[in-house]
Amino acid sequence: MSEMYPGFDGAPLALHRMGAGRPVILLHGLFSNADVNWIKYGTAAQLVEAGFECLMPDLRAHGQSAAPHDPAAYPPDVLARDLEALVAHLGLAEYDLVGFSLGSRTSARAVIAGVRPRRLVLSGMGLEGLAGWARRQAFFLDMLDRYGTIRPGDPAYAAQQFLKAMGTDPAAARLLLGTMEDTPPEALGAITMPTLVLCGDKDNDNGSADRLTEALPDARRAVIPGTHMSCVTEPAMGAELVSFLTA
């Protein structure tokens, strides 16, 4: 089931729901959407079977959500502000929060800003993906500058093709990338709830998951098969989420 909800500025953002029970918000990765990240490969279905209601927004500039070209629609930490708007819109008092890649970055920034889930999962994320975001951001901005001209063999080719396959608006994506700042490791001390750091065994795209686990006050580490792109297709992703969120 899909519906629209107002972002921090009233922009129409898409929300996909599955199941009934304890609410869990799931935030997808960069250039992706809720369907590809959580529904297509059965992760949401595993959570539903375990008694959760999956609340899966398409982030601003992604999927079925608004992708405005007005720079005013992209203030600093806009995705964290949209998450706060979702929690308020749904009137959630107790819920869990799961992010993948950009969704993990958004989740961490939102918790530091005051969002308080019962449990938190940061998947597809390492310490450098938070504390060294500027370098990762430069990679994506370069890809967008050369969008449509990048050939196979170029390190940016896979990102270009994924953005194209997802139908993500390059101009909106560029504006969105400009809203993100580095998160100093010392700021992670604000993330005090039980946290799972979950990555594929061949996923180093966002740096060291081990170092991120060590930097968090109450975190444990889990490893599943896969690269950054393939781990979301693994049944082990849903199994680890169910195990952590029902413990």
- What does the pLDDT read at residue 136? 86
Q: Which CATH code, of 3.60.20.10, 3.90.1170.50, 2.60.40.10, 3.40.50.1820, is assigned to 2-246? A: 3.40.50.1820
CB 144 within 8 A of CB 171: no
Mean pLDDT of 38-63: 98
pLDDT 10s digits, 129-156: 999 988 888 999 999 999 999 999 999 9
- What does the pLDDT read at residue 141? 94
- What does the pLDDT read at residue 111? 98
Asked whether residue 118 carries a pLDDT value surpassing 90, the answer given is yes
Cα 94 from Cα 135, distance rounded (Å)? 35
122 to 206, 219, 221: CA distances (angstroms): 11, 10, 10
Question: With pLDDT > 70 as the criterion, what percentage of the chain qualifies?
Answer: 100
Mean pLDDT of 217-242: 98
- Rounded to the nearest 10 degrees, the angle between the axes of helix 157-166 and helix 133-145 is 70
- Rounded to the nearest 10 degrees, the angle between the axes of helix 170-177 and helix 133-145 is 160
Cα 58 from Cα 207, distance rounded (Å)? 25
- The DSSP output letter for 93 is S
Domain range summary for the chain, segments of one domain joined by +: 2-246
CB 86 within 8 A of CB 55: yes
